[in-house]
Amino acid sequence: MQTDSDPIIAIATAPGRGGIGVIRVSGPDLHGWAESLCRQPLQPRHAHFLAFRDVRGETLDEGLVLFFPGPHSYTGEDVLELQGHGGPAVLRRVLEDCLARGADIGLRLAQPGEFTQRAFLNDRMDLAQAEAVADLIEASSAAAAKSAMASLSGAFSAEVDALSQRIVKLRMLVEATLDFPEEEIDFLEKYQASARLHEVQASLERVLQTARQGRVLREGLYVVLAGQPNVGKSSLLNALAGEDVAIVTPIAGTTRDRVVQQIHLEGVPLHIVDTAGLREATDAVERIGIERSWAEIGRAQVIVHLQDARQPDDPLDADIVRRLPVGVPVLRVWNKVDLLASSPSVPGSSEGEARRTEGHDAALATPPIGSCDENPVLISARTGTGLDELRTRLLGIAGWTPGAESPWLARERHIQALEEAGEHLRVAAGYAAQGDQILDLFAEELRLAHESLCRITGQFTSDDLLGEIFSSFCIGK
């Protein structure tokens, strides 16, 4: 049966070939085993160059060995690192030899995130910092990496701890008043409890707003481009990506399956999905592609409904709008505005040339029936017209403030905990307004707010949550 005290081992570098490969071992009282493995004394935190030999004395590899005695190590336990060549076969041979020679001490393969989990359990870092380790590894932009490093350094935790301490001080005053009711102190007036509570609420709201920015920077936005065939979805994807990631032809129905591309706007990752054109299809392959398009639309956080600016009254677009999921932001974008002046007529119109310019302008100014956005974006994916406005609108929907810089990253569970704490403080303020007669309820809401904040750093955390968090880490970290 596996326990948290078992010695563990894993390859800590990414799979594949590389110049250097690292094998990491962690566990209590590893010093004697480590020296036996290396066949020489090991000076703490000193690099030793030596050959990695198996039990028969055959050289498997050569490289550096570093030994970090606990508690002054990453995990808080004794840690041994073998740094050799990065070939998969070489690393695997060394790993298998270590496991065979560590059988007598119960050495086993580490689970995903188990090294960082032990760092948390041994008080080397709190839970928010531990999560920042995974965020730093997964960061897809320089801004995200910078903010993840700030979280790992404890910037977010410090903000949360400061809020917690202010609530604790207020709780202490309340509890003392409840313990000595004979003093007949007007608590709320004497200690200005309401004013102090409002200050804490304001501080929490500032932290919450920053955390929301941090969540956007970490998670980004899943954006689906939807519309009829040949309205320019693939061209728009290429224009946003800055490269030809999707095939573009004049033939309607060219895109048969989704194309996903990640781009960054001010460091915020946007996952842009190009989909097959939406229409009634008789071709079996195209029909499957359209079904997948609707499936992607169902998963979207934002839908960009792309339309041809030369056909503002197309009834098929109104049908598409009616089928879009409720509750998902829809950004209406009219493409090909560069072709308005040269268009001979509006397709499907009997007005012809008379509507070529003024008619189009009027149509663009009056959104068609069924529109989800009364302020459409006018663009040309071919020339780049309007793309800056589109980028700004997408960031706005994501909740990102242009020019802002999130000092740390945050996750959805952090946002929920902060919002719960804010709600408890709001209820507490309501009790405070009713006077000292219900101080016990006031104190209880302060306690619940404090517990909500403590869940962020892991002071009150269920084992199930820990398992969920650390299982998402890569093996060896």
Q: Is the pLDDT of residue 90 over 90?
A: yes
CA angle 22, 24, 28 (to 5 degrees): 165
Residue 222 to residues 219, 271, 329, Cα–Cα distance (Å): 9, 5, 11
Averaged pLDDT of the chain: 83
pLDDT of residue 415: 95
Q: Are 154 and 133 in contact (CB under 8 A)?
A: no
pLDDT of residue 473: 79
Mean pLDDT within 390-419? 85
Residues 6+ apart with CB under 8 A from 248: 234, 235, 238, 254
Mean pLDDT within 188-202? 81
Q: Is the pLDDT of residue 30 over 80?
A: yes
**DSSP character string of 13-56:** SPSS--S-EEEEEEETT-HHHHHHHHTS---TT--EEEEEE-TT
Instruction: For residue 322, give the amino acid letter.
Output: R
Domains and their CATH numbers in the chain? 8-124 (3.30.1360.120), 138-216+411-458 (1.20.120.430), 220-398 (3.40.50.300)
Mean pLDDT within 366-391? 73
Mean pLDDT within 336-350? 58
Q: Are 337 and 309 in contact (CB under 8 A)?
A: yes
Give per-residue pLDDT as tens, 414-458: 999 999 999 999 999 888 777 656 778 888 999 999 999 999 998
Q: Is the pLDDT of residue 114 over 70?
A: yes
185-219 CB burial, b ≥16 within 10 A, e <16: eebbeebebeebbeebbeebeebbebbbbbbbbbb
DSSP class of residue 58 equals -
Residue bearing the bigger pLDDT, 429 or 7: 7
Chain Cα centroid distance, residue 422: 22
Reported confidence tier of residue 186, pLDDT bands at 50, 70, 90 = low
What the block records as the tokens of 252 is: 């309607």
Q: Is the pLDDT of residue 411 over 80?
A: yes
Query: Cβ–Cβ contacts within 10 Å for residue 302, how many?
Result: 18
> How many Cα atoms occupy the beta-carbon half-sphere of 61 within 13 Å?
25
Reported confidence tier of residue 240, pLDDT bands at 50, 70, 90 = confident
By C-alpha distance, which of 346, 370, 368, 369 is closest to 359? 346
pLDDT of residue 349: 35
Distance between CA 65 and CA 82 in Å, rounded? 5
Most confidently predicted of 1-5, 179-183, 355-359: 1-5
Reported confidence tier of residue 347, pLDDT bands at 50, 70, 90 = very low
302-308 and 221-227 beta bridge pairing:
parallel
Most confidently predicted of 221-235, 341-355, 426-440: 221-235
Reported confidence tier of residue 16, pLDDT bands at 50, 70, 90 = confident
CA angle 28, 33, 37 (to 5 degrees): 140
Residue bearing the bigger pLDDT, 198 or 181: 198
Residue bearing the bigger pLDDT, 78 or 352: 78
Beta bridge pairs of residue 305? 226, 332
Reported confidence tier of residue 356, pLDDT bands at 50, 70, 90 = very low
pLDDT of residue 60: 95
On the 0-12 / 13-18 / 19+ scale of CB atoms within 10 A, 79 is buried
Q: Is the pLDDT of residue 281 over 80?
A: no
What the block records as the tokens of 47 is: 């690099």
Q: Is the pLDDT of residue 176 over 80?
A: no
Distance between CA 191 and CA 206 in Å, rounded? 24
Among the residue ranges 100-114, 134-148, 250-264, 386-400, the one predicted with the least confidence is 250-264
pLDDT of residue 143: 86
Q: What percent of the chain has pLDDT over 90?
A: 45
Q: Are 472 and 112 in contact (CB under 8 A)?
A: yes
Most confidently predicted of 156-160, 176-180, 430-434, 443-447: 156-160
Distance between CA 330 and CA 388 in Å, rounded? 18
pLDDT of residue 366: 35
pLDDT of residue 345: 40
Among the residue ranges 118-132, 238-252, 297-311, 424-438, the one predicted with the least confidence is 238-252
pLDDT of residue 359: 38
What the block records as the tokens of 189 is: 């007036």
What the block records as the tokens of 26 is: 């962690």
Among the residue ranges 55-64, 104-113, 162-171, 402-411, the one predicted with the least confidence is 402-411
Give per-residue pLDDT as tens, 287-300: 788 888 888 898 88
Distance between CA 65 and CA 431 in Å, rounded? 61
Q: Are 346 and 355 in contact (CB under 8 A)?
A: yes
